[in-house]
Amino acid sequence: MTVWIEVALESYRTHEAHRTDRSDDATPAALAGALEQIPAFAGVAPVRSRLATRDIPLKAAGWRLSVDTLDGARTLCATHEDGPPIPGFTRYRTFARPAGEDLAASLREFAEADDASRAPLAKAHRVAAPESDDGAPSSTPDSDSGDEVERIEWRIDAGGADILATLETDAQGRAALRLAAPAADGALDAVFRLAGEIIDAAPFFIAPDEAHELANDAANGAANDAANEPVFAAKLALPRTATRREAFIAIAASVAQQWFGNEFAARAGLSDEHVHQLRVAQRRLKTLLKLFRDDVDETWTTRIAPDLKWFGDLLADARDWDVFTDKTLPSYAASDDNAARWQTLIDAADLRRRVARDRVRDALASKRYVRLTLAFVERLARFASQEDETPVRLVSYAKKRIRKDYRRIARVADLASLEPHERHRVRIHAKRLRYALEFFRSVTTQRTRKQTAKMLGALQTVLGEANDAAVAADRLASMPEATDYQRGFARAWGAASARKDAQEGERLLRAMHRPRVRASL
């Protein structure tokens, strides 16, 4: 059976137009017109159709099932992901079969038609047509024919690779573009090359993780607010039998889910929590690349790393201004006998915070950023497609990395005796170890997951507060709106915070149990 590879893109114009009613350039015709200006689409006759599609829920991981209705004819379509899930990229197999009037019967026949689909589709008929009290199938819910979709397809010969480009626009105006090709030599190159040409010429970006879309995307009304919710890091459950390479791909995909999910949500309005979670995703990615140094090649270094730094620096500046404006300055004011004297400074900081956030917003809308996300997904897809010639067990690798990173913090001198920049380095190492434990949680002991990780978080927090105070003092000193009194207040606050937090950090560090990988694995 043919294995397909696919890159999924989404139109940011339709996403924004859905919320601002500016849809002149976001119609299917307008998007198709933009695509047809790309040389690869020139002379290719599009095929247009309008159909209804209804998803049938499945509990089998990696499987999707739908009923598509076109010109009165129904088709059952199932897809199975063939490889690790990577946001924006899928490797899959397809199963399709015409459906008769008795949908439940058609689904039972569909499940039995192939050994691979028998188990995952075995109970699908119960969801599509629930049984009545007497055990017979109830009337199929055909009145709920599904969501209407407008589809435009182009078959493109891209240097020997036969690419099917499918633009689908749903009733709410969301437009998705899928570039699919049979997995063969050269197909990966061709699909990503075409994706690059598209994002350079048309308003498309890498689609977020589909699970996030299904959970958070809203058709209308109050549910729209859900699509703007920030996305937090998901708990990883790496298989105990996983190799180092498999772990790298799974962790990178998890980082991308948080990264792209918050980018998607932020397109409806960038909040301070979106900025925070985007920065967390970038920090997790940075930790991943340090944990797996041997898997960072020239492509990462030359093509991805510079733009990751560019984007990360913008996020760091915006996040620092958020903390300074919303937390640090109000704390100063609350501790002063004249809180009102701080309001002018708070207003000035808030203005700078808005400017920093606008820079992040502009970056998210830039071609440079979209190219970065595409390059990231492409490198991950290529890495996943390569054969692991020297597989290393995750358990062995995790034990080695955790032990090494723990020693970095356990062997430092008394935190209270260190210089501020040295304590800051301890904080960075504690943060990296905490992320590493999150990545490898499925192979660590229960005490490591619950107690050690918790204390690492507390250590990171207290040392972070001291660092925030030091950064705040420097930031305040550079603001012309600040008075000499306020500059002195911030320096004194920072010094007191450094002493207090160093003492608390030292207590936490020495009380921490050494993290362990489970010996029974």
Cα(389)–Cα(236) distance, integer angstroms? 25
Question: Are 113 and 187 in a shared domain?
Answer: yes
54-67 pLDDT per residue, tens: 999 998 989 999 99
Question: Are 292 and 150 in a shared domain?
Answer: no
In a domain, 36, yes or no: yes
Question: Are 296 and 418 in a shared domain?
Answer: no
- Asked whether the beta carbons of 80 and 93 are under 8 A apart, the reply is yes
Measure CA 176 to chain center: 17
pLDDT of residue 147: 87
Cα(468)–Cα(330) distance, integer angstroms? 14
pLDDT band at 13 (very low <50, low <70, confident <90, very high): low
Question: Are 82 and 155 in a shared domain?
Answer: yes
pLDDT of residue 242: 92
Question: Are 25 and 122 in a shared domain?
Answer: yes
In a domain, 302, yes or no: yes
More confidently predicted of 240 and 214: 240
3-state secondary structure of 133: coil
- Asked whether the beta carbons of 260 and 230 are under 8 A apart, the reply is no
In this model, does residue 130 exceed pLDDT 70? no
pLDDT of residue 18: 45
Cα(514)–Cα(200) distance, integer angstroms? 49
In a domain, 20, yes or no: yes
- The secondary structure element, H or E, covering residue 294 is none
- Asked whether the beta carbons of 256 and 87 are under 8 A apart, the reply is yes
CATH number of 472's domain: 1.20.120
User: What is the number of residues in the chain?
Assistant: 521
Q: Which residues pair with 8 in a beta bridge?
A: 178
Q: Which residues 6+ apart lie within 8 Å of 322 measured at CB? A: 272, 275, 276, 353, 357
Q: 64-68, 172-176, 502-506: which has the minimum mean pLDDT?
A: 172-176
Question: Are 199 and 254 in a shared domain?
Answer: no
pLDDT of residue 126: 86
Domain's final residue, options 335, 362, 389: 389
Question: Are 502 and 398 in a shared domain?
Answer: yes
In a domain, 231, yes or no: no
Dihedral (Cα; 124, 125, 127, 133), 10-degree rounding: -140
Q: 107-111, 225-229, 255-259, 444-448: which has the minimum mean pLDDT?
A: 225-229
- Mean pLDDT along residues 186-191: 95
pTM for the whole structure: 0.90
Question: Are 259 and 351 in a shared domain?
Answer: yes
- Asked whether the beta carbons of 122 and 244 are under 8 A apart, the reply is no
- Asked whether the beta carbons of 35 and 47 are under 8 A apart, the reply is no
- Mean pLDDT along residues 355-375: 97
- Mean pLDDT along residues 486-490: 95
Burial of 381 per CB tally in 10 Å (0-12, 13-18, 19+):
buried
In this model, does residue 227 exceed pLDDT 80? no
Question: Are 383 and 334 in a shared domain?
Answer: yes
pLDDT of residue 225: 55
In this model, does residue 208 exceed pLDDT 80? yes
Q: 160-174, 205-219, 272-286, 316-330: which has the minimum mean pLDDT?
A: 205-219
- Mean pLDDT along residues 80-94: 92
In a domain, 225, yes or no: no
In a domain, 73, yes or no: yes
pLDDT band at 214 (very low <50, low <70, confident <90, very high): very low
Cα(383)–Cα(134) distance, integer angstroms? 53
Residue 126 Cα distances to 45, 85, 131, angstroms: 41, 27, 7
Question: Are 369 and 409 in a shared domain?
Answer: no
Question: Are 21 and 166 in a shared domain?
Answer: yes
pLDDT of residue 175: 92
Measure CA 499 to chain center: 38
pLDDT of residue 212: 39
Question: Are 399 and 375 in a shared domain?
Answer: no
In this model, does residue 471 exceed pLDDT 90? no
In a domain, 415, yes or no: yes
Q: Which residues 6+ apart lie within 8 Å of 389 measured at CB? A: none
In a domain, 105, yes or no: yes
- Mean pLDDT along residues 461-472: 88
**Phi, psi values for residue 151, rounded to 5°:** -120, 135
DSSP string, 158-187: ETTEEEEEEEEEETT--EEEEEEEES-TTH
pLDDT above 70 as % of the chain = 90
In this model, does residue 425 exceed pLDDT 60? yes
CATH number of 76's domain: 2.40.320.10
Cα(147)–Cα(283) distance, integer angstroms? 39
Structural domain tally of the chain? 3
b/e map of 314-344 (b: 16 or more CB within 10 Å)? bbebbbbbbbbbeebbeebbeeeeeeeebee
Nearest to 10 by CA among 167, 231, 215, 191: 167
Q: Which two tokens stand for residue 26?
A: 């976001």
Domain's final residue, options 367, 389, 411: 389
18-64 pLDDT per residue, tens: 444 444 567 899 999 999 999 999 999 999 999 999 999 998 989 99
Q: Which residues 6+ apart lie within 8 Å of 337 measured at CB? A: none
pLDDT above 90 as % of the chain = 72
Mean pLDDT of the chain: 89
Structural domain containing residue 353: 245-389
Q: Which residues 6+ apart lie within 8 Å of 339 measured at CB? A: 333
Q: 117-131, 227-241, 420-434, 452-466: which has the minimum mean pLDDT?
A: 117-131
Residue reference for tokens 């199938």: 137
